[in-house]
Structure 1
Amino acid sequence: MNKQDEQLNALNDIRKMMDRSSRFISLSGLSGVFAGITALVGAYFANQEIVNYVNRDLETAYFDAGIEFNLIKIGLLVLIIALVGGALFTYRQSKKKNLPIWDKTAKNLLINLAIPLATGGLFIAALLYVHSNAYGLIAPSCLLFYGLALVNASKYTYTDIRFLGFCEIILGLIAMFNIGYGLYFWAVGFGILHIIYGTLMYFKYERAK
């Protein structure tokens, strides 16, 4: 090994150290795939719930509050399963790379992710509280605020997350002009896009290592 190769190796080592100190690189692409599959399963059950409600006889149908409660339960269950699966895959990835799962970069990532998400959650809650017939705006709003959260947090992890965020924002804007198809846009944004980007990230950062 000549002197130039040694210098290049030293620069690569310095670059890896800087990446580890400034970016959360334990994020697993498989967590995105798992979240996407979970979202698609949840979208299927939500669609079945809506279809069953519409097809019920008016005399035996539940009030709107019934279907709202069931859809909220499905949404919360999907969120919990996706978070648990994502945490497990990320934990496995951190052990594989011999990196701490909780450090300053992880804290910064979660803070920058949580602020737009919490704002979006409060916005949607206020929207429904003020306008009881604004259910068609839930899915577009979820996509928009989730996309903003990804863009905001991307500086603390892989830059690929930024492009996923842009895709979510664009999809949310399109959904705003197609009220009534929110569940389909939700399935594409949280399901298909997660699977695509999770697969790409897995082969780019994990499989190739």
Structure 2
Amino acid sequence: VLVRLSTSNLSKSKESSELGGVELFRDVVVEVPTALNMAIQAVECGHGLLTTVDEYTVLKVAHTIARNEGLVLDPIGVVSLAGLEKLVAEGVIDRGSRVLAIVSGSPSKDPFTLYKVMECDFEVLKKLRKIEEAEPCLSATDIEILRIIAEERTVHSYAIWKKLNDRGYRLALSTVIYHVKKLEEKGLVRIVGKHNRRIMYALTEEGISILRKFSE
């Protein structure tokens, strides 16, 4: 699948008003890439397809990754994921399919775009501003994991993974285990024992305090 970023007519769209009417990627988009013909030939030889996505969709995907995974990426680098999301929504790619998407780039080279990625969720920013810089920086996934542990009192990673999936978080079990380990390293959760050979976790006092601040 070849995904192309389209900047046409963005300034006239409803979504553009949410971005301040600014065409974010106009300066970096190459309208006629040097290897475009080669890319099209590769798609045709592989019996693939070509699709396009607009700036707003790309920005939303970049924001979702930042919010759920704590990874702030260059929006240009997630065009492939935006295209994947579009094709899944259109039924071209089945949900649950295993897909490899190339993601690259750092947002630090464009502070304005980075600001727009973070600006998408004003409520998250307000909550983050309430927390002192010395306290842990947490993603939405981290906060939801803390909520689940608080609800269950003691729980293992597999149960956390199942509850996250029930709440719409499509994460691999290994990703959830990674998040839990990072929360443990930050002193927000602790090991309280084992149940059926599974490690059980509970919130620390600091974890309870942090979760309370995000719930205010």
Q: TM-score, normalised by structure 1?
A: 0.27
More strand by share: 2
More helix by share: 1
Q: TM-score, normalised by structure 2?
A: 0.26
Q: Greater relative contact order: 1 or 2 (C-alpha under 8 angstroms, separation 6 or more)? A: 1
